[in-house]
Chain A
Amino acid sequence: MANYEISDLVEWDKRIREKAAAFGLDWYPQEFEICDHTGMLGYMAYSGMPSHYPHWSYGKAYEKLKTLYDYGVNGLPYEMVINSNPAIAYLMRDNTLLLQILTIAHVYGHNDFFKNNFTYKSTRAELTIERFKAHALRVRRYCEDPSIGIDKVERILDAAHALAFQCRRNLAIKKLDREEQLTRAIEAARPRTDPFARIHARPEFHEPDMRKTPLEPDEDVLLFIRDHNPFLAEWERDLLTIVDEETKYFLPMMETKIMNEGWASYWHKKILESLDLDQGLRLEFIVRHNQVLRPIPGQINPYHLGFKIWEDLHRRHENPTPEEIKKYGAPAKSGDEKIFEAREVERDSSFLRRYLTEELMREMDLFQYEARGDELVVDKVSDEEGWKTVKETLIKNVGAGSIPVIKVEDADFGHNRTLYLKHYHDGRDLQLEYAEKTIAFVHRLWGRETVLETTLQGKRSLLCFNDRGFSVRALK
């Protein structure tokens, strides 16, 4: 079936690396593994990890992927690459030579991105494989421990998975420990030096509440529960740690999906165009490339969107049109300088905010839709008055933006050890059924009454979950 030998791939890889290096890409050592479709499905179910702890949700993921694949609804990705050092990528055995070449080039794009984008700095790529393996070993050990067993482990993991993404979004911002927070609170409370103090009324001194836990609202719900519920067993804490570590590993990928896919697509195109392919391969390349990068009406294709922005950004710095110079000023950097800088310091939300222009949005016909009755209806399109709203909506929905922000406000609400959570409402209500079930999971981990403040249809409400079950109360 396959029209290549491993030696061909090695040869092409060498040529691709030469080109990539010439373009200035910088990557971790790369490993490719050839696998068949079952292997690929398996890797997909476990997010590409060679070893991963067991949980039924991965079985579910596998069955779902396999069903979609078997019925031809979804194809398989041509490749999959994980952020580790060395980076590991899986190539589908049945792909044609051209697809393998394209994929290899694409993988180097991702690899470069993993190594250089700021969001990945916290992931410790050199430890990825070992860490996941250690997690797997620990979870397996808890499952096999006769005093714990799989049911208890699942009880915690189910709850932890539900809350996994309720964590800090920007890992590049340092989280202050309690001491530092205290200092900051005291600093803030101290009256400012006022040169006109004599003519001003003396400011009232508000003593900061230093007994409050947490001092500042805490977004790491899992870690907060781990550190503040004294009734959790050691292994339970460990499970929470494991889930949190995995989330923090995957979060950057979520946060840079559009950039990352666009970046890899941008470079595979550049590399393949410079490779001097013979005509057959070149034609196939054009077909495949357009398949991957086609716009999907009614959705957002991150490959397409990302690619378009990168290309546009490069062009605007190489040969801008007079209107663009008028609008954005003359470019200070060359196209390459600019895109290499952006790939290092942006993530999807900032990337879109800075570089998705009105013109590009119009070209791609981006629109905003909302539910009206049973239907999704186009609400705003990228015209003169609407494009800013559409852009805002788009930015709100990328990466972790699609996850509600929920923070722990008080661990001892009403001096009752009630956990008080607050949803930072941004115009989007919580889905109530899901909120009810999820808050039950918080309650399971916290062990005491749990309340969540949110806004439902414009009314401030308190969702409570205690031993008597779930209830919703209106707040004044």
Chain B
Amino acid sequence: MTSETIFREYRPSDAERSDRSAGDRLRHREKVRESIRENIADIIAEESIIGKDKDKVIKVPLRGIKEYRFIFGENAPGAAQGDGNAQPGQVVGKAGKDGQGQGEGQAGDRPGVDYYETDVTLEELIEIMFEDLELPNLERRALREIPSDRIAKRKGYRHVGIRVRLDKRRTARQRVMRQMAARKHENAAAADAAALGEAAEERRFPFRKDDLRYKHLEIDTREESNAAVLCIMDTSGSMDTMKKYLARSFFFLLYQFISTRYRNVEIVFIAHHTEANEVTEEEFFHKGESGGTFISSGYQKALDIIAERYHPSLWNLYAFHCSDGDNFDSDNPAAIRTARELCDVCNLFGYGEIKPLGSRYYESSMLNVFRRLDAPNFQAVLIERKEDIWPSFKAFLSKDRVKE
């Protein structure tokens, strides 16, 4: 028999003190963030982030922090226990791809086979996205950023208000004024009283509600913090689901980006085929139209809306047009003309031609037409697949015109 066994009792104080993995967790967290940043282009190209609100939690698969080691691949058979009547040919699980988790059928513990994902909120993701985006021209953008977008100006005084805005000086003055007015009347009364031989007693003279004066503030929204995003999309028959999806990703990014820059962002959806309409977001992405395309109709509609609601001196305008490049030739001169007008009023105007891979060579393209448009804040990009969205988005924003 060996020596006595020792029992160490549980002490809560020990447990509180020893969060031993805190440092390693932090370091891991940093790695995760780093890894997200490296894979941001792939992540934003995934459809799951579109049309979700900012608190939405996204599962992000992590590639960077797998712990690699030599492991066996697909053709390694495994052994497992059955439920009593295993038969050859029976399916027992799903094979993992790329060493991802193998679900139920996994036998024993194979080292290194771990598929890892982490939760990130959309906002965090966008944050990382823009960190990534802003590296090259940080300074320029920092200048354009307007930190105090809401300014409160004093504008007069009011009888009602909140306690912190109470103007003591003015309130006291009101009381004195009232007292003076009251004294006139009192003096007359006192004279009568003196005549009667009574001593005038000093009376309390309290504040009344009427005396209170509050500072009044008016909120003045600076023009620079207004922005309008005009999403123009070709909804003609040639736009299929894939093309619409790519367009959607791009608009989403644009909207998210603009939202982080400006306090007040409005978004306008313009769908066009041979004529243009302002539609809701739902209709914008889901409504299918058929028929031909006049690109200029969409631009004209945008110009009309701008003239009507968003004066360029008050609004930062961002217009982007997605199309598959199919336009009636006769419309091209009009398209160029209206595009130029849009460039004049917008901070940025972009044209994205969506051509899923392979279709590029046999379909007509507007890119050649727009090459003649040499406005500095115009950018035409070609989107062939999901991975192109991020680079073209970057290219688009790089043309942002600094507003004086």
Q: Taking beta carbons and an 8 Å cutoff, which residues of A are in contact with B?
A: 6, 9-10, 13, 17, 21, 27-36, 38-39, 42, 45-46, 54-60, 62-64, 86, 93, 150, 154, 161-166, 295-302, 304-305, 364-381, 386, 390, 393-394, 397-398, 402-404, 406, 423, 427-435, 437-438, 441, 457
The CA-CA distance from A423 to B70 in the complex, in Å, is 10
The CA-CA distance from A403 to B4 in the complex, in Å, is 40
**Cβ-defined contact, A300 with B8, below 8 A:** no
A119 CB, min distance to chain B CBs, angstroms = 18
Q: Which residues of A contact B30 (CB under 8 A)?
A: 56
Q: Which residues of B contact A393 (CB under 8 A)?
A: 77-79
**Cβ-defined contact, B79 with A403, below 8 A:** no
Q: Which one of B7, B87, B108 lies within 8 Å of A398 (CB-CB)? A: B108
Interface of A is mostly: mixed
Q: List 27 A-B contacts (CB under 8 A).
A: A9-B7, A13-B5, A17-B5, A34-B8, A36-B10, A45-B21, A56-B28, A60-B67, A62-B24, A63-B25, A295-B81, A300-B79, A300-B81, A366-B80, A367-B79, A367-B80, A367-B82, A369-B80, A369-B93, A379-B88, A397-B78, A397-B108, A402-B109, A428-B72, A429-B74, A435-B70, A457-B75
The CA-CA distance from A77 to B92 in the complex, in Å, is 27
Q: Which one of A86, A297, A376 lies within 8 Å of B95 (CB-CB)? A: A376
**Cβ-defined contact, B88 with A381, below 8 A:** yes
Q: Which residues of B contact A374 (CB under 8 A)?
A: 94-95, 97
Known: A298-B81, A301-B81, A429-B76. A402 touches B108 (CB 8 A): yes
Known: A32-B8, A378-B92. A297 touches B81 (CB 8 A): yes
Q: Which residues of B contact A299 (CB under 8 A)?
A: 80-81, 104-108
Q: Which residues of A contact B206 (CB under 8 A)?
A: none
Q: Which of the segments B12-20, B354-362, B378-386 contacts the partner chain?
A: B12-20
The CA-CA distance from A288 to B336 in the complex, in Å, is 78
Q: Which one of A150, A366, A429, A430 lies within 8 Å of B79 (CB-CB)? A: A366
B 55-69 contacts with A by CB, 8 A: 65-69
**Cβ-defined contact, A370 with B24, below 8 A:** no
Query: Does any Cβ of A come within 8 Å of B156's Cβ?
Result: no
B104 nearest in chain A by CB position? A298
**Cβ-defined contact, A298 with B80, below 8 A:** yes
Q: Which one of A32, A366, A377 lies within 8 Å of B92 (CB-CB)? A: A377
Counting from the closest, the 9 A-B pairs by CB-CB distance are: A59-B24, A59-B28, A365-B82, A59-B25, A394-B79, A437-B68, A376-B105, A371-B95, A431-B73
B189 CB, min distance to chain A CBs, angstroms = 79
Known: A373-B95, A375-B91, A404-B71. A368 touches B78 (CB 8 A): yes
**Cβ-defined contact, B72 with A381, below 8 A:** no
The CA-CA distance from A178 to B347 in the complex, in Å, is 74
B90 nearest in chain A by CB position? A378
Q: Which residues of B contact A163 (CB under 8 A)?
A: 69
Query: Does any Cβ of A come within 8 Å of B139's Cβ?
Result: no
Q: Taking beta carbons and an 8 Å cutoff, which residues of B are in contact with A?
A: 1-10, 14-15, 18-21, 23-31, 65-95, 97-99, 102, 104-112, 116
A411 CB, min distance to chain B CBs, angstroms = 19
**Cβ-defined contact, B83 with A10, below 8 A:** no
**Cβ-defined contact, A31 with B8, below 8 A:** yes
A357 CB, min distance to chain B CBs, angstroms = 15
**Cβ-defined contact, A42 with B28, below 8 A:** no
How many pairs, one residue from A and one from B, have CB atoms within 8 Å of each other in the complex? 261
A46 CB, min distance to chain B CBs, angstroms = 7
Q: Which residues of B contact A423 (CB under 8 A)?
A: 70
Name which of B5, B9, B106 has the most chain A CB atoms within 10 A of its CB. Answer: B5
Q: Which residues of A contact B65 (CB under 8 A)?
A: 56, 60
Q: Which one of A62, A86, A429 lies within 8 Å of B21 (CB-CB)? A: A62
Known contacts A165-B111, A381-B88; 20 further A-B pairs (Cβ under 8 A): A6-B7, A13-B7, A30-B6, A32-B8, A34-B9, A38-B19, A54-B23, A56-B31, A161-B69, A162-B67, A166-B70, A298-B106, A368-B79, A374-B94, A403-B69, A427-B76, A428-B72, A428-B76, A431-B73, A438-B68
Q: Which residues of A contact B110 (CB under 8 A)?
A: 402
Q: Which residues of B contact A54 (CB under 8 A)?
A: 23-24, 27
Known: A59-B26, A166-B70, A402-B72. A31 touches B15 (CB 8 A): no
B3 nearest in chain A by CB position? A29
Name which of B21, B30, B90, B105 has the most chain A CB atoms within 10 A of its CB. Answer: B21
Q: Which residues of A contact B111 (CB under 8 A)?
A: 165, 402-403
B8 nearest in chain A by CB position? A33
B119 nearest in chain A by CB position? A67
Q: Which one of B10, B19, B70 lies within 8 Å of A93 (CB-CB)? A: B10
A170 CB, min distance to chain B CBs, angstroms = 18
